[in-house]
């Protein structure tokens, strides 16, 4: 059986409240994804790690996993740290095809949402 997965990857923080929007995004994605498995992972300070979340997806039978960095830009964590972590996952789970997407902040959709949100906040029309 072919099963796909999406591994959302965020930075992490010491304050648990920081994760709230990422957890909400993961929950919304799970509602939309149907049979596609979804996991949220963090680089540091929070769990699960990307290796732990990747293990969950592999153990659920995913043979293709798209890793989506929930970063506003592709700085050092996305360009340097994440590829090394993906190499670890590839070595541990060679039966899984691990694909890395661009950072969400580099998509036109999020750039427009940021502009819309900034306008809404600045003009006092934020809901």
pLDDT exceeds cutoff 90 at 13 = yes
pLDDT exceeds cutoff 80 at 47 = yes
pLDDT, residue 77, reads: 78
Is 10:24 a contact under the CB 8 Å cutoff?
no
d(CA 39, CA 79): 21
Instruction: Kindly state the average pLDDT of the residues 31-53.
Output: 96
Helix-strand-coil percent breakdown of the chain, rounded to 5?
A: 50, 20, 30
Q: Which of 11, 40, 57, 70 is catalytic?
A: 11
What is the CATH T-level fold of the domain 3-122, as seen in this structure?
Rossmann fold (3.40.50)
Single pTM value for the model: 0.91
Domain ranges of the chain: 3-122
pLDDT, residue 1, reads: 58
Annotated active-site residue 77? The verdict is no
């Amino acid at each position: 059986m072919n099963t796909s997965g999406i591994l959302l990857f965020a930075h992490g923080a010491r304050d648990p409240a920081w994760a709230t929007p990422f957890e909400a995004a993961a929950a919304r994605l799970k509602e939309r994804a149907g049979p596609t498995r979804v996991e949220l992972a963090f680089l540091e300070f929070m769990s699960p790690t990307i290796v732990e979340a990747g293990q969950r997806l592999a153990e659920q039978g995913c043979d293709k996993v798209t890793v989506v960095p929930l970063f506003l830009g592709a700085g050092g964590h996305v360009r340097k740290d994440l590829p090394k972590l993906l190499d670890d996952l590839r070595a541990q789970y060679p039966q899984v095809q691990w694909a890395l997407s661009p950072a969400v902040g580099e998509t036109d959709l999020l750039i427009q949402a940021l502009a819309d949100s900034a306008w809404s906040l600045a003009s006092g029309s934020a809901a």
